């Protein structure tokens, strides 16, 4: 797939994920084979006001690239200025505009998916951002519309193309749907038919098989993965392997998952410091142990860690059988039957 002059290799893109797609997770995703990553959404207002917390979220290195910095905002002039600052100070491969966020804090300021209610504003925001970004390609990420009664994705795709956007990612649900029901992949197919710029399909991909299915059903140019990658960077490797060979890789073992979680925790420490890193790591730990025997007993223990050493110790104890989860049935939908004490 080509986004402007940027070549993005086959495979899957890591979705922008607030509170999740920070540098440590992006590094792991790229190592595992993600073909592109995005920052968490950052506020255009925060950028032009030079807010430290906002700018902190925009820092990246080349081991996370190609990378898009995702901006949100509802004022075209602010978006233009923010895009120009983003290019000057950070120089990402892509600037992405968030037109999909359903969160009240963003929508109440007319940002995120609220913009989809006003197509003139949508166009002005894209034009402003393209203007500010100069040579850097601008992409957009949308939902199907504000609600199911008013799907606007095809119109927005056409507007984006006309306004100079170089790709459009579609989370195939309306804002009103939140994360409920199933993503409607037929919308991705319709968008692909409506525009010439690349279409990136998004919503409910859980496995490598789903990637192939989405590409076949929609003819999309790229796929983007959010929730299925959380605590599971392995998915990118699984996808690449499957697309290249048609064979499905074995699911990662318990010890491989723990190994990945430990590396992740170490990166969090390097990025955010010991205590903040450990606290921020807690939610990831909850995802990493999904499917472990005794996961629901293990989680409260992991959710209390405040150092990286503690994380290591809890996992050591778990692998050494210190916790007695013998009465607990393994869940049968994920790693059912896998022995948590198995080392490889
Ligand atoms: C925790 C979380 C944070 C998210 N943050 C963002 C964000 O910052 N920007 C954005 O465009 N979408 C965000 N999304 C939406 C995802 O990028 C993606 O569109 C959505 O999760 C559907 O894809 P999936 O089914 O693969 O998870 C977020 C989703 C989740 C679960």
Given the cut 0.90, state whether the ipTM is greater than it: yes
List, in order, residues 6 or more apart from 19 with CB less than 8 Å away.
Answer: 40, 283
For the chain, strand residue ranges (E) read 2-3, 6-7, 12-14, 37-38, 42-43, 67-72, 94-99, 138-143, 167-171, 199-202, 222-225
Ligand 1 centroid to 100 CA: how many Å?
9
Other beta carbons less than 10 A from residue 62's beta carbon: 8
List, in order, residues 6 or more apart from 260 with CB less than 8 Å away.
Answer: 28, 233, 234, 252, 288
Greatest C-alpha distance within the chain? 62
Residues with CB under 6 A from ligand 1: 15-20, 40-41, 70, 98, 100-101, 141, 171, 202-205, 225-228
Residue spans per domain, the chain = 2-245, 250-344
- Ligand 1: atom nearest CA of 40 is 8
Whether 258 contacts 302, CB under 8 Å: no
Ligand 1 centroid to 21 CA: how many Å?
10
Which residue's CA is minimally distant from atom 23 of ligand 1?
A: 203
101 is known as an active-site residue: yes
pLDDT per residue, tens digit, the chain (344 aa), is: 999 999 999 999 999 999 999 999 999 999 999 999 999 999 999 999 999 999 999 999 999 999 999 999 999 999 999 999 999 999 999 999 999 887 887 877 777 878 888 999 999 999 999 999 999 999 999 999 999 999 999 999 999 999 999 999 999 999 999 999 999 999 999 999 999 999 999 999 999 999 999 999 999 999 999 999 999 999 999 999 999 999 999 999 999 999 999 999 999 999 999 999 999 999 999 999 999 999 999 999 999 999 999 999 999 999 998 887 766 665 544 433 333 333 22
What CATH architecture is 2-245? Alpha-Beta Barrel (3.20)
Q: Which pair of structure tokens corresponds to residue 17? A: 């994920």
- For strands 94-99 and 12-14, give the pairing: unpaired
Q: What's the length of the chain?
A: 344
């Amino acid at each position: 797939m080509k986004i402007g002059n940027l070549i993005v290799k086959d495979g899957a893109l890591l979705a922008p994920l607030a509170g999740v797609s920070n540098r440590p997770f992006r590094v792991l995703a790229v190592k595992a084979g993600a073909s592109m990553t995005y920052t968490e959404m950052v506020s255009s207002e925060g950028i032009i006001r030079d807010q430290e917390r906002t700018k902190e979220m925009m820092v990246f290195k080349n081991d996370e690239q190609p990378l898009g910095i995702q901006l949100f905002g509802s004022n075209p002039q602010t978006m233009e200025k923010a895009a120009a600052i983003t290019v000057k100070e950070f120089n990402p491969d892509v600037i992405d505009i968030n037109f999909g966020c359903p969160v009240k804090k963003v929508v109440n300021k007319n940002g995120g998916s609220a913009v989809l209610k006003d197509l003139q504003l949508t166009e002005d925001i894209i034009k402003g951002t393209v203007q500010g970004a100069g040579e850097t390609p601008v992409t957009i990420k949308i939902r199907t519309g504000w609600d199911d009664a008013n799907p606007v994705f095809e119109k927005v795709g056409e507007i984006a193309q006309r306004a100079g956007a170089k790709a459009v990612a579609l989370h195939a649900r309306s804002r009103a749907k939140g994360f409920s029901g199933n993503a409607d992949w037929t919308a991705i197919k319709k968008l692909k038919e409506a525009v010439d710029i690349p279409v990136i399909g998004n919503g409910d991909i859980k496995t490598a098989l789903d990637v192939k299915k989405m590409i076949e059903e929609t003819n999309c140019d790229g796929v983007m993965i959010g929730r299925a990658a959380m605590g599971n960077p392995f998915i990118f490797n699984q996808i690449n392997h499957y697309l290249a060979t048609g064979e499905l890789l074995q699911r990662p073992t318990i010890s491989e998952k723990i190994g990945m979680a430990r590396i992740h925790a170490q990166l969090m420490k390097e990025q955010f410091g010991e205590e903040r890193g450990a606290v921020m790591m807690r939610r990831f730990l909850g995802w990493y142990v999904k499917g472990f025997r005794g996961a629901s007993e293990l989680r409260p223990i992991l959710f209390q860690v405040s150092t990286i050493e503690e994380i290591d110790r809890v996992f050591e104890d778990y692998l050494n059988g210190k916790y007695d989860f013998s009465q607990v049935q393994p869940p049968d939908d994920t790693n059912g039957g896998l022995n948590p004490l198995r080392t490889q």
